[in-house]
Amino acid sequence: MPNILVTGGAGYIGSHVVRDLAEHGFCPVILDNLSEGHREACPGMTLVEASIADPAALATVFTRHRIEAVMHFSAFAYVGESVTDPAKYYQNNVGATLTLLEAMRQHGVRTFLFSSSCATYGNPVYTPIDEAHPQNPVNPYGRTKLMVEQILEDYRRAYGVRYIALRYFNAAGAHPDGTIGESHRIETHLIPLVLQAIKGTRPSVSLFGTDYDTPDGTCVRDYIHVCDLARAHRAALELLLNGGEPACINLGVEQGHSVREIIALCEEVAGKKAPVIEAERRPGDPPSLVAKAAKAKKVLSFMPDYTDMREIIKTAWQWENKRRY
């Protein structure tokens, strides 16, 4: 079984990818410092509790396990915090990624999957957004993701690194068996915020901006189920291991849902109203971010299974009611 190093494998998306890899003939080795992740998210898996910024820990992992590829999820991912504390973001998302890439170089590992983001596009100049759309990120978080994409391209040319950067739109939902799901220290994602407000574990949810140039005045986003993301990662990994070409690929569903639509669907699924507070726009929120996903279909033969937003929210609601971490 090929050993795959999964950095950030105890986090939200990483834990779903780890589960999927283990179920499909791969041997994931998780490296996570648990700054945001959870040991409970990866029961029965090999978990090395260390930072990717620690060259000695990386050397031990690469020496002990015959690593064939690296899937790199570890990063800080709070957009607002990246504005108030950019050093934290450049150090962890860019600086520590360089340390990881250096360890790979020293151990002759060249296959790399990177968690990039639609945040690299910035304010869309057209929609749906394809991979050729200009990349002008509007916050430090998005810039860290773009910088790593650029570093990877330089490393490909100079050192033969074979990478796929997957630019996710909004990850959503939880594993349908209810055992793993989203649990962030500071929750910023709309669906858990609405569901937690409905459940009463937070007093209310804020709706930022009702005067956007969208059908109902609220922001529109493209939500992709976390298990679909996991399948797409496996497809990208298999492509690279079979000699496929490096690429940057969007992962989205090509459907836009407004904030009001999401709130209404959460209320329908939970059977209860959400306490919503209407607030001013947040700086840096584009009105609409919807993916063009043709490249994922063509290059990875990937199509999402979850195309009904209600079904995505049902898995998130089940998680909110069962969560152990």
Q: Which residues bind ligand NAD (CB under 6 A)?
A: 7-8, 10-14, 31-37, 51-53, 73-75, 77, 92, 96, 115, 117, 168, 170-171, 184
Query: Strands (DSSP E) along the chain, which ranges?
Result: 3-7, 27-31, 46-48, 67-72, 111-117, 162-168, 170-172, 205-208, 220-221, 223-225, 247-251, 257-258, 276-279, 288-289
Q: Which amino acid is at 110?
A: R
Q: How many CB atoms are closer than 10 A to CB 105?
A: 15
Smallest distance from ligand NAD to CB 28, Å? 14
User: Is 181 or 287 the residue whose CB approaches ligand NAD more closely?
Assistant: 181
Residue of 283, 286, 282, 266 whose CA lies nearest to 274: 266
Smallest distance from ligand NAD to CB 316, Å? 12
Smallest distance from ligand NAD to CB 263, Å? 18
Smallest distance from ligand NAD to CB 223, Å? 9
Q: Name the DSSP class of 39.
A: G
CA distance 308 to 196: 21
User: Is 55 or 275 the residue whose CB approaches ligand NAD more closely?
Assistant: 55
Smallest distance from ligand NAD to CB 273, Å? 26
User: Is 176 or 217 the residue whose CB approaches ligand NAD more closely?
Assistant: 176
- Tokens standing for 36? 């945001």
Selecting among 78, 89, 121, 141, the annotated active-site residue is: 141
Q: CB of 225 within 8 A of CB of 312?
A: yes
Q: Is 183 exposed, middle or buried (0-12, 13-18, 19+ CB in 10 A)?
A: buried
Smallest distance from ligand NAD to CB 250, Å? 11
Q: CB of 73 within 8 A of CB of 137?
A: no
Q: How many CB atoms are closer than 10 A to CB 153?
A: 15
User: Is 168 or 319 the residue whose CB approaches ligand NAD more closely?
Assistant: 168
Q: Which residue is nearest to ligand NAD (CB)?
A: 11
90 as an active site residue: the answer is no
CA distance 77 to 140: 10
- Tokens standing for 212? 């956007």
Phi-psi region of 296 (alpha: psi -120 to 50; beta: other; left: phi over 0): alpha
Q: What are the catalytic residues? A: 141
